[in-house]
Amino acid sequence: MTLVERAIEKLRRNAAEQRPKAESPAVGSVVGERERPEAPVTPANPALRVAIDREALRSAGYMPENAVDRQFADDYRQIKRPLISAAIASGTAAAGSTRLIMMASALPGDGKTFTSINLALSMARERDISVVLVDADIPKPHVSRIFGVDREPGLVEALVDPALDVETLVLPTDVNGLSILPAGKAHEGATELLASARMVAVVTRLIAQPRRIVLFDSPPLLASSESRALAAIAGRVVLVVRSGNTPHRAVLDALDQLGPDKSVALVLNQGRSGLSGGYYGYGDGKYGSEESSA
């Protein structure tokens, strides 16, 4: 058993006793109904609806081949269930809410964006929640490019202009329950924008809808400073580790950067270790420095 797999097993064993107590559901949330913004919102481009072309995603390597689609879907059900349970239990509508999930990796090439897209699609299948996939990788906005919205205003514009309502920049897709917030225009001060009080206001607005989950596709932790700013406002971090590829030291360094108090879930990408019977192993809990010798 590799170091990463042992870490996942330890997270599993400790999850029950380390997981924070569930908070009371938000007042006014209605199970089975999609929530709407608190006030009428006029989109920046009301005619734009993002089409999700699954075959194009498959061809580009962002979805699995048809032959393993059923097993793949089951793997993602295992990954999303504890994330959704914690998110729905949260009554917090501010930075630090478990409805703000940061998709992270230690290094480029670990499969973070692949995981972000497929987790968002899997979560959108739920009847009682909606999902916004936010392209927060401002230096390299892969999600925006993949879905053809890299020329649309997005997160950067909302952060630069305090008068701009971020909800007007959230683009609906043809998948019920799934929306996308593009990265927006490149900005040299991306780290400062993501670490600003304005970012707190933006994420608070995004989760004003009680049954909404926000997934942030972020830059790699060890290759950027932007990701550390994002981790400060996320209530949950999903760390994608590529089996047989991500160095053990890089995983431990990434976890150290997140800190001992951050709630972290490990997803073992492309691993057939028997942890899940499929593509992914899943570990859940708070991973602190005291566990780094696993």
Q: Say if CB 193 and CB 159 are below 8 A apart.
A: yes
Q: Say if CB 44 and CB 167 are below 8 A apart.
A: no
For the segment 85-123, what is each residue's pLDDT rounded down to a tens digit? Answer: 999 887 777 888 999 999 999 999 999 999 999 999 999
3-state DSSP assignment of residue 206: helix
The reported pTM is: 0.79
For the segment 219-273, what is each residue's pLDDT rounded down to a tens digit? Answer: 999 999 999 999 999 999 999 999 888 999 999 999 999 988 899 999 988 755 4
Residue 172: pLDDT over 80: yes
Residue 63: partners with Cβ closer than 8 Å, 6 or more residues away:
54, 57, 117, 118
Domain 3-17+45-291: CATH superfamily is P-loop containing nucleotide triphosphate hydrolases (3.40.50.300)
Residue 14: pLDDT over 80: no
Structure tokens at 82: 């504890």
Banded pLDDT at 293 (limits 50, 70, 90): very low
